[in-house]
């Protein structure tokens, strides 16, 4: 019989899988707890492979949740970004591309079955016959689903491997230049076709569409920071989330945004700004840790 502590040994893997499927920490935690309750309600049957069984249940629960999540995305106000995922080790020196904002956004655009096959095989190391068992499909179908997912991923701009220290250095330099309104330094830091994506969820002010290009992005960022500083004390603090360094913005001591950059060839290619207060709530644990 699967003991509770045996399930606990799988919990973080299951949450990590469900988060990559859904882009929400709270939803991922709910899915994993629901999978456990399904096992309990079934009378705690003996499982030949607890890992495969729980992954199978979580996969199916995620696929069901995506159907409703897609409806919510269609009604979401402005661009959507995944809920930030905090890490246990804030001093990690390497990047984790598998939970990066860029990859999470690409995964979000995949069809549900493609998403599941890609995550299970490419990110969690399942063989296709195991993926097939989990998803209730043929192995050949799962292989094709993962292949199509990779094709979508390769359709994005090819990215050279980044370095966490480089990302942090460029991120810090970017915010220093924004604070000073230093366009010359910003031009050396930002790509000419940089894209800013801001998620306010319709609950706070945020750009309602992605901003593209050096001029538009820098004008917007400098204006926002300057306007905030006129009447408020603004502070930025380093943090790590979604496998990379980031920055939290505080206004009069209250968190108002979480920023993260994607660095390609030594320049900022994408800037992600999470402003939705529901998604920022996860950072409250930093204040109490």
The predicted structure's pLDDT at residue 88? 62
The predicted structure's pLDDT at residue 225? 87
Beta-bridge partner residues of 198 = 273
The predicted structure's pLDDT at residue 47? 81
The predicted structure's pLDDT at residue 287? 53
The predicted structure's pLDDT at residue 54? 92
- Tracing tokens 């359709």 back to the chain, one arrives at 155
The predicted structure's pLDDT at residue 72? 81
Per-residue pLDDT tens, the chain, 289 aa: give them: 555 667 788 899 999 999 999 999 999 999 999 999 999 888 888 888 888 889 999 999 999 999 888 778 888 999 999 999 987 654 566 778 889 999 999 999 999 999 999 999 999 999 999 999 999 999 999 999 999 999 988 765 555 557 888 998 999 999 899 888 899 999 999 999 999 999 999 999 888 899 999 999 999 999 988 888 888 998 999 899 999 999 999 999 999 999 999 999 889 999 999 999 999 999 976 554 4
């Amino acid at each position: 019989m699967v003991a509770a502590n045996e399930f606990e040994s799988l919990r973080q893997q299951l949450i990590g899988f469900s988060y990559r499927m859904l882009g929400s920490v709270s939803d991922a935690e709910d899915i994993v707890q629901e999978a456990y309750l399904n096992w309990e309600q079934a009378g705690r049957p003996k499982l030949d492979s607890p890992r495969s069984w729980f992954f199978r249940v979580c996969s199916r629960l995620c696929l069901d949740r995506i159907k409703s999540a897609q409806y919510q995305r269609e009604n979401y106000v402005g661009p959507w970004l995944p809920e930030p995922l905090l890490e246990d080790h804030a001093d990690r020196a390497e990047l984790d591309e598998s939970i990066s904002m860029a990859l999470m956004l690409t995964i979000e655009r995949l069809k549900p079955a493609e998403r599941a096959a890609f995550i299970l095989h490419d990110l969690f190391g399942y063989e296709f016959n195991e993926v097939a068992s989990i998803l209730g499909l043929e192995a050949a179908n799962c292989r094709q689903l993962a292949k199509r997912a990779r094709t979508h991923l390769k359709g994005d701009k090819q990215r050279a491997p980044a370095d966490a220290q480089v990302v942090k250095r460029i991120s810090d330099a970017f915010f220093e230049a924004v604070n000073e309104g230093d366009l010359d330094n910003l031009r050396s830091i930002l790509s000419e076709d940089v894209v800013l994506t801001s998620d306010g969820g319709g609950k706070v002010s945020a750009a309602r569409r992605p901003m593209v290009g050096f001029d538009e992005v820098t004008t917007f960022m400098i204006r926002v920071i300057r306007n905030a500083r006129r009447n408020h004390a603004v502070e930025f603090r380093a943090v790590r989330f979604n496998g990379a360094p980031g920055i939290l913005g505080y206004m009069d001591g209250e968190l108002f945004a979480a920023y993260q950059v994607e660095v390609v060839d030594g320049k900022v290619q994408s800037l992600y700004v999470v402003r939705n207060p529901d998604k920022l709530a996860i950072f409250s644990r930093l204040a109490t840790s």
